Chains A and B, each alone.
Chain A
Amino acid sequence: MKSFSPPLKISTPRAAPRLLWPLVALALIFAVDGIISPHFFAIRIVEGRLFGNLVDIVYRATPIAIVALGMAIVIGTKGIDLSVGAIIAIVGATLDWRIHMGDPHLLALAIALAAGVACGLWNGLLVAVLDIQPIIATLILMVSGRGVGLMINLIYGGSDPSFESPLLQGLSTGHIGLIPTRILVGIGLWIALWALVRRTALGLFLEAVGANPKAAELAGVEARAIKWAAYVISGFMAAAAGVILTADTHTSDPVSIGLYSELDAILAVVIGGGSLNGGRIYLLGAVLGAVVIQALTTSILTSGLPPEYNLVVKAGVVLVVLLLQSARTRAAVARLATGRKR
């Protein structure tokens, strides 16, 4: 058979334009920072660890970045997980409870992570088996999860839920060499998740289910199991973030821990180029998105602007990013532009 196709290029860097927007956003934020305070980028070593705004941004962004990694997986399947904040609360309460029950701290950690996985199993059951819309299905745990956390606190009295744990606090606020441990943990989870979805065919199946569930079924993909796996992964990642946040404050506070983290995580995924219509998973983008959000927050704090501007600026950024991503808006702008040329 003759070939009419032109010679093949081996590969094109498709990642570039997609990561452009979050990188531009980050560059803009840092440019403003550099103008306002010249010492913004200074990094110094204090008590054997790195200090400085840049380190602080990554440090603070880590929990949301971890949650956003799981969220990117779920969004890739055309789903959404509103319950990650509630899962963080449940995991924190579980961790605290097991430590108070005298479990070895490593075991307590394992049980806490398992609690997150159990939450993911529940969400997956509702979405994949009972076929309930993801927003609605995960709303149930979102509404009740923090209550479950409070109940767990009650199991052991709950009057003094604070705890000490060199292991867990080491994971959260310690440092290995110059680098904060949680950043290393975050990078480790990122690499592990990347390997799980990109070194196996899981990522392809997740994206196929998100892009066209019917075609995925016809191509032999078990759409139901794949969707379920996505929610379990998201539950696990939220649990990891929950452990870091809980160990940070030494206490279980289900009412306010990880508040709005579901919204931040979804935002991070969207800023990182992920579409809520599913079909694509961008782990690097999600991490970048989380860093952009935190850079914005930190910059507002260090710029001397009142912290109350934070949310408004964040909302503005969200809107701009959304409008840029909307094909319809771009078309309208293009029409206006060409109209003017005429």
Chain B
Amino acid sequence: MTEKKKKILVVDDSQDMRVILSMRLRINGYEVIMAQDGQEGLGMAKKDAPDLIILDLMLPKIDGYEVCRMLKFDDKYKNIPVIILSALDQQEDREKAVGSGADTYFIKPFDLELLLAKIKSLIG
């Protein structure tokens, strides 16, 4: 594998979820960086140039919608795919997320296979 590993930023305030996701993603060949709140996530998204972001919505400091919006309405970062992964299951939450520019939306608990398939379709 000479090709450089794709970098995924996981922003989630749950330590457990961060661990589970990073493990799953690393096994599937991705480099994973993690942030535990919106502010940190936004900072890392801008600084570390991830290929894709998995973003929770209910985040301390800056919530997921806001993080998504700030990235997607910034020409520099708007091309980074954002997957929302949230336990919020209301239609309105989904619509709000899409309105913020998110590429797709997964509800927790999630189907791992589908998530991986989506990631693959977005960044290869």
The answer to whether A binds B is no
Task: Tell me the B residues contacting A by CB distance below 8 Å.
Answer: none
Interface residues of A (CB under 8 A from B): none
